[in-house]
A = this chain, B = another copy of it.
Amino acid sequence: MNQPLVENYFRTDKLPHIWCPGCGHGIIMASIARAIDKLKLDKDKVCIVSGIGCSSRAPGYMDFNTLHTTHGRALAFATGVKLANPELEVIVIAGDGDLSAIGGNHLIHASRRNIGLTTICFNNNIYGMTGGQYSPTTPTHDKGTTAPYGNIDKPFDITKLAVGAGATFAAKGTVYHVNQLDKYIESAIKHKGFSLVEAISICPTYYGRKNKKGSVVDMMNFLKDSFVDHKVAEKLPPEKKQGKFLMGEFVNVEEPEYTELYDQIIEMFK
């Protein structure tokens, strides 16, 4: 028995993937495929770009034009792909470390330029690939192998960061709330201009173990219990909002897209 979605959008000979049991990354990868399927994108015109990390292994499994680059640089490579050929639907997959640590500069500049890239951040709050060092999204006080006494950094809110940099679409979801995640990714791809979906993932192997977060299921339950849609949250009484994290579409505005603006310059000389 075949799964049409998997057969159509994945390189099944490369599966099963290398991710650990219960790693949330697979859930996000499937969600991206469902969104692409929903939008009926031409596979030949989709390009998936990633950096380096557990999450960044995703493109290897996905049956599109796929580009696994250097750590942190996915958005810069993707900017070249998109500007050189704006016909391509370019989707960037990046871990929280990849996107917001070493790649932070490319994130804010791609946001600022409003170039038509869809970025999906697989945010597991840790560096998975290198074995559990704290990342810029590790909550304060949590542990990583390089934060043995608890992290003293304040974490980024990646969504807020992108908005501060000028992003015209930004949403946050989780691997528990898959239906919503599908929708955010779908809207993000449809959005003209730069879009970011921060997908909260789980890394049971490193983040979970280091921080005694329990089983995979416990970690999923945590997401279930702590994230509420920001629009729903608005209507909640303060005591119900306490300790909650917000998800949802935070920004979605139309502004001129970069490659279109560039094409206007070219038009001037035609």
Near B by CB (< 8 A), chain A positions 126-178 give 136, 149, 152-157, 160-166
Asked if A187 is at the interface of the complex by the 8 Å CB criterion, the answer is no
Known: A149-B268, A164-B164. A104 touches B109 (CB 8 A): yes
In angstroms, how far is the closest chain B Cβ from the Cβ of A162? 8
Chain B residues within 8 Å of A104, by CB: 104-105, 108-109
Pick the contact of A265: B108, B112, B149 (CB < 8 A).
B149
Place the interface of chain A in its size category: 20 to 34
A112 contacts across to B, CB distance below 8 A: 136, 153-156
Q: Does A261 contact B (CB under 8 A)?
A: yes
Chain B residues whose C-beta falls within 8 Å of the C-beta of A265 in the assembled complex: 149, 152
Q: How many copies does the complex hold?
A: 2
Q: Which residues of B contact A258 (CB under 8 A)?
A: 152-153
A55 within 8 Å of B (CB atoms): no
Rounded to whole Å, the gap between the CB of A70 and the closest CB of chain B is 15
Q: From A166, which residue of chain B is reached at the shortest CB distance?
A: B154
Interface 1/0 per residue, A229-265 and B, CB below 8 Å: 0000000000000000000000000011010011011
Query: A161–B165 contact, CB under 8 A?
Result: yes
For residue A113, CB closer than 8 A to chain B, the reply is yes
Instruction: Give the nearest-CB partner of A262 in chain B.
Output: B152
State how many angstroms separate the Cβ of A213 from the closest Cβ of chain B: 23
Instruction: List the B side residues contacting A114 at CB < 8 Å.
Output: 154
Instruction: Contact check, B164 vs A163: say whether CB atoms are below 8 A apart.
Output: yes
Asked if residues B166 and A165 are in contact (CB atoms below 8 Å), the reply is no
Q: CA separation between A156 and B108, bound complex, in Å?
A: 9
Known: A112-B155, A161-B164. 13 other contacts (CB 8 A): A104-B104, A105-B105, A108-B156, A109-B136, A112-B136, A112-B153, A112-B156, A149-B265, A149-B268, A152-B258, A152-B262, A156-B166, A161-B165
List 6 A-B pairs, minimum CB-CB distance, nearest first. Answer: A164-B164, A105-B105, A152-B261, A104-B105, A149-B265, A161-B164
